[in-house]
């Protein structure tokens, strides 16, 4: 038991775990009223191409509403799920959103206003998070999952995160926050993101422990002879990357992903660095000589090969860079549904036991 407690403490520190919530146990009846063993209803906000939805569908979720403003992402979403997301979420009244059991949202990180501050927290009006607030206020789903960038907790000196957590607390949600790295959850990509899990009652919940296995680059990469000629870097770029790598005292190995950071340093890895929608065109090269294909980028995010690619390479590059790592979402969703099914209230939420 002492060893497990040490592992628990170490894991909680590693993922920067935080718990927040109102006084009392909360609305346990709202959770127990849902038959979680059946198709529970999910709302998918700021949906992108549906990575969060995929993770929740894998554990029994059924989409009843989605919202995404980017038309090319809407095309991909519709091709894969059969329904087209509503556009601008700020243009629909919360009352018009279908009733649902879990609200999902990878909302943008925006600064809040100092105008209209209350109790030391910032004003969320005029931001996209305010839309989430209003939907939660009207619909009061029993559970939520919000996703954001790793730096979300420190954005604006921590004021943005503190304000979001305070607003969720005022709405009756008990929140569990952590920073998880996709590389530790069966994904061939180093991608750290902030996740906020919320329940309307103070029930037992643990973030998923890391898994040992992940796909190798050999299973991700497509044969070079099948690669579009447009994806190959120029001979000059390939030569300069190799020269710079060796000047750093490193020898190339294959297969590998070569990553150039803003300072010009070249990193070489047996996995992908974080995909980014707006990065320079050649910031990441496969084996130092070409850019990844659309299918490879989706594989780096854990999408199945059955997921259809819609649009040109620039579109899927942007969509994959903005997406989530699906296996991470599925792992979190599995833990959430297990907690919702058991609905065991706790007094001290930090007294958690991780067995791994």
Phi/psi for 83 (5° steps) reads -135, 145
Kindly state the greatest CA–CA separation across the chain.
65
> Of the candidates 106, 20, 36, which has an alpha carbon nearest to the alpha carbon of residue 324?
106
How many whole angstroms separate alpha carbon 26 and alpha carbon 54?
Answer: 29
SS3 category, 339:
helix
Among residues 58, 109, 279, 338, the one annotated as catalytic is 109
Strands of 257-260's sheet, edge to edge?
266-269, 257-260, 284-286
- My answer on whether omega of the bond before 18 falls inside 30° of 0, hence cis, is no
Q: Is 188 annotated in the active site?
A: no
Report the SS3 class of residue 231.
helix
Q: Return the beta strands (E) in the chain as ranges.
A: 18-20, 40-45, 61-66, 102-105, 113-118, 121-123, 143-149, 174-181, 192-199, 257-260, 266-269, 284-286
Kindly give the pairing relationship between strand 102-105 and strand 143-149.
parallel
CB 21 within 8 A of CB 174: yes
Between CA 199 and CA 27 the distance in angstroms is 9
Q: In sequence order, what are the residues at sequence separation of 6 or more whose Cβ sits closer than 8 angstroms to the Cβ of residue 156?
A: 111, 112
Catalytic residues: 109
């Amino acid at each position: 038991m002492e060893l497990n407690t040490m592992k628990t403490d170490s894991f909680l520190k590693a993922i920067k775990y935080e718990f927040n919530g109102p006084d009392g146990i909360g609305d346990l009846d709202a959770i127990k009223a849902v038959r979680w063993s059946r198709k529970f209803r999910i709302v998918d906000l700021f949906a992108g191409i549906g990575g969060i939805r995929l993770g929740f569908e894998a554990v029994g979720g059924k989409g009843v509403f989605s919202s995404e403003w980017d038309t090319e992402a809407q095309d991909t979403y519709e091709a894969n799920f059969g329904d087209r997301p509503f556009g601008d979420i700020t243009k629909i009244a919360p009352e018009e959103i279908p009733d649902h059991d879990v609200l999902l949202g990878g909302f943008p990180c925006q600064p809040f206003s100092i105008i209209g501050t209350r109790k030391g927290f910032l004003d969320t009006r005029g931001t996209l998070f305010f839309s989430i607030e209003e939907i939660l206020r009207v619909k009061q789903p029993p559970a939520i999952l919000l996703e954001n960038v790793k730096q979300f907790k420190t954005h604006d000196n921590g004021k943005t995160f503190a304000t979001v957590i305070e607003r969720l607390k005022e709405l009756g949600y008990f929140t569990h926050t952590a920073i998880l790295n996709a590389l530790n959850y069966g994904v061939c990509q180093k991608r750290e993101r902030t996740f906020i899990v919320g329940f309307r009652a103070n029930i037992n919940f643990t973030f998923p422990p890391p898994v040992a296995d992940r796909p190798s680059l050999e299973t991700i990469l497509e044969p070079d002879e099948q690669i579009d000629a447009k994806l190959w870097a120029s001979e000059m770029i390939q030569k300069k990357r190799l020269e710079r790598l060796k000047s750093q005292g490193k020898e190339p190995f294959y297969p590998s992903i070569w990553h150039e950071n803003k300072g010009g340093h070249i990193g070489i890895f047996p996995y992908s660095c974080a995909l980014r929608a707006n990065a320079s065109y050649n910031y990441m090269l496969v084996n130092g000589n070409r850019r990844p294909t659309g299918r490879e980028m989706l594989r780096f995010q854990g999408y199945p090969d059955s997921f259809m690619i819609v649009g040109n390479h620039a579109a899927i590059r942007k969509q994959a860079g903005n997406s989530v790592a699906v296996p991470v979402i599925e792992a979190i969703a599995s833990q959430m549904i297990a907690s919702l099914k058991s609905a065991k209230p706790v007094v001290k939420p930090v007294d958690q036991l991780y067995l791994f």
